[in-house]
Amino acid sequence: MVEWKKLGEVASIVRGNRVTKSDLIENGRYPVISGGFSPLGRINQYNREKDTITIAQYGSAGYVDWQNELFWANDVCYSVYPQGDLNNRYLFYVLINQQCYIYTLRTNAVPAHLPLKSLQDVDIPVPSIDEQTRIVGILDTFTASIENLKQQIAQRRKQYEHYRDQLLDLEGKEGVEMKTLGETCDFVRGPFGGALKKEIFVKEGFAIYEQQHAIYGLWSFRYFIDETKFSEMKRFEVKPGDILMSCSGTMGKTSIVPTDCVKGIINQALLKLTTKNVVSNRYIKLFMDSQWFQDALKKQTAGGAIQNVASVTVLKDLAIPVPSLPEQQRIVSVLDTFEASIANLEQQLAQREKQYEYYRNKLLKFD
């Protein structure tokens, strides 16, 4: 037998206490849970116990979370406390299962917020306490498995970064020459001066490569130009094997253009590197992804809220160690093995998350 009750009938919902950014402490003991997806910062006091359900009131209004440690609930954070025979963890899974619906309860005001009354009116299925415990046991098993996979992925990524930086530490070694990036690659920065205005775009034609292609390596396109415009901007043409680097906002992210790429040109937010015969594109990409290059890139930024690469000339003058092509291939091969291992774990994680969502929906679907 399952009863349906309003959240306000089976739980108390309490707002937190205001903390401002000036109150935060760099190495504080307790996280401050506010209106975002992650903590606002840390302080040395707490006002909530661990194992508490929180829901953002402002900011990412409606976001449901579970706090594993003592924390400070800010004034734009709801804490939810079940009453009577209602399992705390069970209620969390019910609310997570209704996450999309809870988001729809946000107001259209600026800033958007989740009214208390709307949250209190959310319908909650309440089966017997034994059934709640059974459901929690199943879903906690899935959750633990997912967290374990996430930890494995994080650990494997750290190993990859460690070995990448170690393998690329070649300066001064036998058979290794120091060459500038300008000696190993041809550089082309995307067109400036409003050359790619939306009024010149067409529905079909030659693709415009954007920042998202460098950041995510996903090869779908939103904008196109006609053949006449493409001919005028031939120097910006993208070809298979080119390295694309984001140059604005999220800087320094790189992707290699696939062999079956769509014909097109880069936009103003991209830098295109075409490797010369002395290096492989995969080897250069490894260097551009390394902490060494990212640190060097940060020193060459300009702009206000949106940072941009200030000088391509300076990037061209950065010297990197260049071993023989067979040694480059060996390094790439070693790191490819790590990447394949990470990709396999990520695939397992995606499958496990789908299983978890399927069973959560199935277990919490009461007539």
**pLDDT (tens digit per residue) in 259-315:** 999 999 999 889 999 999 889 999 999 999 988 888 888 776 665 545 566 677 888
Contact 265, 238 (CB under 8 A): yes
3-state SS, residue 196 = coil
Contact 268, 289 (CB under 8 A): no
DSSP character at residue 262: P
Place 195 in a pLDDT band, splitting at 50, 70 and 90.
low
3-state SS, residue 189 = strand
* pLDDT in the model for residue 14: 97
Place 110 in a pLDDT band, splitting at 50, 70 and 90.
confident
Q: Cα torsion for 211, 213, 217, 220, to the nearest 10°?
A: 150
User: Around Cβ 113, how many Cβ atoms within 10 Å?
Assistant: 19
* pLDDT in the model for residue 306: 54
CATH 1.10.287 residue ranges in the chain? 128-175+324-367
The two tokens of residue 131 are 């059934």
**Could you tell me what percent of the chain has a pLDDT over 90?**
78
* pLDDT in the model for residue 215: 92
65 has which bridge partners? 54
User: Around Cβ 62, how many Cβ atoms within 10 Å?
Assistant: 24
* pLDDT in the model for residue 160: 93
CATH 3.90.220.20 residue ranges in the chain? 3-126, 177-322
Contact 57, 35 (CB under 8 A): yes
The two tokens of residue 201 are 């775009």
DSSP character at residue 236: G
Mean pLDDT of 123-146: 96
The torsion angles phi and psi of 128, rounded to 5 degrees, stand at -65, 160
Q: Domain 3-126 carries which CATH code?
A: 3.90.220.20
Q: Domain 128-175+324-367 carries which CATH code?
A: 1.10.287
Which superfamily does CATH assign the domain made up of 177-322 to? Answer: DNA methylase specificity domains (3.90.220.20)
Q: CA 157, CA 160: separation in Å to the nearest integer?
A: 5
Q: What is the pTM of this model?
A: 0.79
